[in-house]
Amino acid sequence: MTTAMEFCEFGKQYGRVVAVHDLSFTVRTGRVVGLIGPNGAGKSTSLRGLLGLIRPTTGYATVFGQSYARLDAPAQRIGVHMDGLGFETGMTGRRHLEICAVAAGVSRQRVEPVLEEVGLADVAGRRLGKYSTGMKQRLGLASALLGEPELLVLDEPANGLDPEGIRWLRKLLRSYAERGGTVLLSSHQLAELAQTVDEVVIINRSAVFSGSLDELTDGGKENLEDRYFDLVGVPREASDA
């Protein structure tokens, strides 16, 4: 396997506030990797650094061996869905994807297959103001998939999805990885991550664990939630309170 992305001594500081410090880990191709940590641990900062949205104070983050800014046709190599991105509510789902396709340098013919893939074909003509939170999440994933990328970077993609939608998302990500794609997935839904990921990176401003899910859970003898709380310093009794 080759390296899809790498963080090397990555750090970001805002004045005296340290958002991320000395973060180092790699993600191999064909893997689904969960990025987890407490609120304020630096997950979003790290993802933004990877995507060239912020400049690191120290170290670097690369995708396919180079910075995001140096990639040719980046939208066709990396699909991105970040939590909290807004939509133009008066626009239809189909029109939104058509605009995304043009911006990414992708044929508009990709729009209909992607709508089918994410289960929005029947509501593609509906205005986004009428979309539920779960439907908007599916639309965000659709925009990430437009360029048939090698890598998906997803921030809380399961937010707003019902149980059926969460199961659908799990199957989509596993199928994507089985076809050779790579996923970096940030989420707070630890029980669901345990059914989805191959590897786990736990950060609390720096990496406190990076490795396989089997290694973290001792081959399934422990559960992901308990091991997570052990490593971020929250007693198990407190986490159950």
Rg (CA), the chain: 18
- The CB density around residue 157, as the number of other CB atoms within 10 Å, is 26
Domain shared by 114 and 129, yes or no: yes
pLDDT at residue 89 in the model = 85
**How are beta strands 199-203 and 32-36 bridged, if at all?**
parallel
Domain shared by 63 and 155, yes or no: yes
pLDDT at residue 166 in the model = 92
Domain shared by 122 and 201, yes or no: no
Task: Report the C-alpha dihedral over residues 102, 105, 111, 116, rounded to 10 degrees.
Answer: -140
Low-confidence ranges of the chain (pLDDT < 50): 238-241
The residue among 110, 132, 148 that closes a domain is 148
pLDDT at residue 241 in the model = 41
Beta bridge partners of 211: 200
Domain shared by 162 and 218, yes or no: yes
Domain shared by 178 and 230, yes or no: yes
When divided into structural domains, the chain yields a total of 2
The residue among 97, 129, 148 that closes a domain is 148
User: pTM for the complete prediction?
Assistant: 0.90
Determine the structural domain holding residue 31 and report its residue range: 3-77+150-240
Domain shared by 133 and 168, yes or no: no
**How are beta strands 17-28 and 3-14 bridged, if at all?**
antiparallel
Residue 182 carries which side chain, given as an amino acid letter?
T
The residue among 98, 128, 148 that closes a domain is 148
Domain shared by 67 and 171, yes or no: yes
- The enclosing domain of 156 has a CATH number of 3.40.50.300
Helices (H), 88-193: 93-104, 111-117, 133-145, 163-178, 190-193
Domain shared by 154 and 69, yes or no: yes
Domain shared by 139 and 179, yes or no: no
Domain shared by 160 and 172, yes or no: yes
Domain shared by 143 and 217, yes or no: no
pLDDT at residue 188 in the model = 87
